[in-house]
Amino acid sequence: MATSRFAPTASGRAHPGTLLAGLLAWLDARRSGARLILRIEDIDRERCTPALAAALIGDLDWFGLDFDAVERQSEHAADHLAALERLAALGRLYPSTMSRRQVTALGRRAPDGGWAYDNSERDTPLPDDWRSADIALRVRLPEGRVAPVDEGGVDLEQNPAQSFGDPVVRTRSGGATYHLAVVVDDHHAGVDRIVRGRDLATASATQAALRRLLGWPDPVYRHHLLVLESDASGKLAKSHGSISGDELRQITPERLCGELARLAGLADTSAPCRPRDLLDGFCWQRISPADAVWDHTKLRDSP
Q: Which is nearer to ligand GLU, 195 or 251 (CB)?
A: 195
Helix spans in the chain (H): 16-32, 50-63, 77-89, 100-106, 160-163, 178-188, 204-213, 245-248, 253-264, 296-301
Q: How far is the CB of 182 from ligand GLU (least distance, A)?
A: 5
Residue 21 CB neighbours (<10 A): 24
Q: How far is the CB of 13 from ligand GLU (least distance, A)?
A: 13
**Do residues 228 and 291 touch, judged by C-beta distance below 8 A?**
yes
Q: What residues contact 69, with CB distance under 8 A and at least 6 apart? A: 35, 37, 38, 189
CA distance 302 to 86: 56
Q: Which is nearer to ligand GLU, 176 or 200 (CB)?
A: 200
Q: Which is nearer to ligand GLU, 138 or 193 (CB)?
A: 193
Q: How far is the CB of 191 from ligand GLU (least distance, A)?
A: 10
CA distance 206 to 183: 10
- C-alpha distances in Å from residue 153, one per residue of 24, 121, 163, 209: 17, 35, 20, 19
Q: How far is the CB of 229 from ligand GLU (least distance, A)?
A: 15
Q: Which is nearer to ligand GLU, 206 or 270 (CB)?
A: 206
Q: Which is nearer to ligand GLU, 48 or 261 (CB)?
A: 48
Q: Applying CB under 6 A, which residues contact ligand GLU?
A: 7-9, 41, 182, 196, 200
Q: How far is the CB of 189 from ligand GLU (least distance, A)?
A: 12
Q: How far is the CB of 19 from ligand GLU (least distance, A)?
A: 12
Q: Which is nearer to ligand GLU, 8 or 275 (CB)?
A: 8
Residue by residue, DSSP assigns 117-145 as ---TTTTSPPPTTTTTSS-EEEE-PPSS-
Closest by alpha carbon to 259, among 232, 221, 214, 293? 293
Q: How far is the CB of 208 from ligand GLU (least distance, A)?
A: 12
Q: Which is nearer to ligand GLU, 195 or 257 (CB)?
A: 195
* Strands across the sheet containing 236-238: 236-238, 227-230, 292-293
